[in-house]
Amino acid sequence: MKQFVIAATLVAGVTLAGVALAQTPAQKPPPPPEPKAAAPTQTADKPAPPRARRSTAAQGENTPGTHEAPKAQPTTSEEPSAPGAMVLGTVRLPKGVKVDGKDIAAGSYQVRLTADEAKPDARGASEKLERWVEFVKGGSVVGREVVSIVPAAEAKLVQKDTPPPSGGAKVETLKGGDYVRVWFNKAGNYYLVHLPNS
């Protein structure tokens, strides 16, 4: 009888377990893990350099192998224009100076701007603004020298000393005493002549 009770208990337990298992909803197996991207290897003392992104839209006409020549740049300033021949004024030189390599004595001189560009002696940014002036005494030209013309639009950019009054002139010995500067202010333009002492 004991055997029958044990057998009945086992059958009942198995049956109950089967019923409980049948009532449990079926579970889906877990999804397989996604593959991980390989981490870049880095050394302890050197971090990996950042990756440069390349955009074909940003490259535009500069795509390697397609660019032929530099693009034309817009002009940033107009070509300066210089006035024609005219009398700049009369100056008094306090001491003898050299004009185009020739000695001229102290005294008063009329200074005339010529239409001749100072080629090949022009040293400025524009040959049109490097011209010849004539020093005239008693109706005769005693010497010629290069004058640098500073247009009115650029005068404030280069002006350090007090300029002569409008329509006037200024003669001054420069620092070191080796040169005399003759400076005219005519219609807002500056005319600068540098003469070595004789």
- What mean pLDDT comes out for the span 185-197? 92
DSSP-derived secondary structure for 105-166: -SEEEEEEEEEEE-TTT--SS-GGGEEEEEEEETTEEEEEEEEEEE-HHHHHHH--SPPPPT
Of 107 and 19, the one with more pLDDT: 107
- What's the pTM value of the predicted model, to 2 decimals? 0.57
In this prediction, residue 138 carries a pLDDT of 93
pLDDT in tens, 107-133: 999 999 999 888 765 454 556 789 999
In this prediction, residue 93 carries a pLDDT of 95
Is residue 95 domain-resident?
A: yes
In this prediction, residue 42 carries a pLDDT of 54
Is residue 168 domain-resident?
A: yes
Of 179 and 61, the one with more pLDDT: 179
Is residue 70 domain-resident?
A: no
Is residue 15 domain-resident?
A: no
Task: Note down the domain range covering 143.
Answer: 86-196
Is residue 111 domain-resident?
A: yes
pLDDT in tens, 32-80: 777 666 555 555 566 666 666 655 555 555 555 555 656 665 555 555 5
Is residue 104 domain-resident?
A: yes
Of 160 and 43, the one with more pLDDT: 160
Residues 118 and 129: their CA atoms lie apart, in Å, by 9
Residue 110 has a CB neighbour count (10 Å cut-off) of 16
| Structural domains in the chain (count) | 1
Is residue 171 domain-resident?
A: yes
Of 183 and 50, the one with more pLDDT: 183
- Is 166 a residue whose pLDDT tops 80? yes
In this prediction, residue 188 carries a pLDDT of 86
Give the chain's mean pLDDT.
76
In this prediction, residue 195 carries a pLDDT of 95
Structural tokens at position 183: 């400076």
Is residue 164 domain-resident?
A: yes
